[in-house]
């Protein structure tokens, strides 16, 4: 479980470095928003793959904890 969390956070960090500072997704990541909130902004900004990855990670973590 912890491994998936760390992988997802690392993916977010790497992705953040590749996008413009002024987009909503970047600002959301910089604020350390929840994965759900980042995914919402990612969809708005057209980063659909990122949004899907965040949603998948969230569901995997939920499954592992129940």
Whether 13 and 62 have beta carbons less than 8 Å apart is answered as no
Helix H or strand E segment including 51:
helix 48-65
pTM: 0.92
Task: Report the pLDDT value the prediction gives residue 10, as an integer from 0 to 100.
Answer: 97
Count structural domains, the chain.
1
pLDDT mean by block of 10 residues, the chain; 66 residues: 93 97 98 97 98 96 87
Q: Note down the domain range covering 53.
A: 2-65
- Model pLDDT, residue 66: 78
């Amino acid at each position: 479980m912890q491994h998936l969390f760390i992988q997802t956070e690392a993916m977010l960090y790497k992705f953040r470095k590749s996008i413009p500072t002024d987009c909503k997704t970047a600002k959301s990541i910089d604020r350390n928003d929840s994965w759900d909130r980042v995914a919402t902004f990612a969809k708005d900004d057209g980063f659909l793959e990122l949004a899907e990855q965040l949603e998948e990670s969230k569901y995997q973590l939920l499954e592992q904890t129940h």
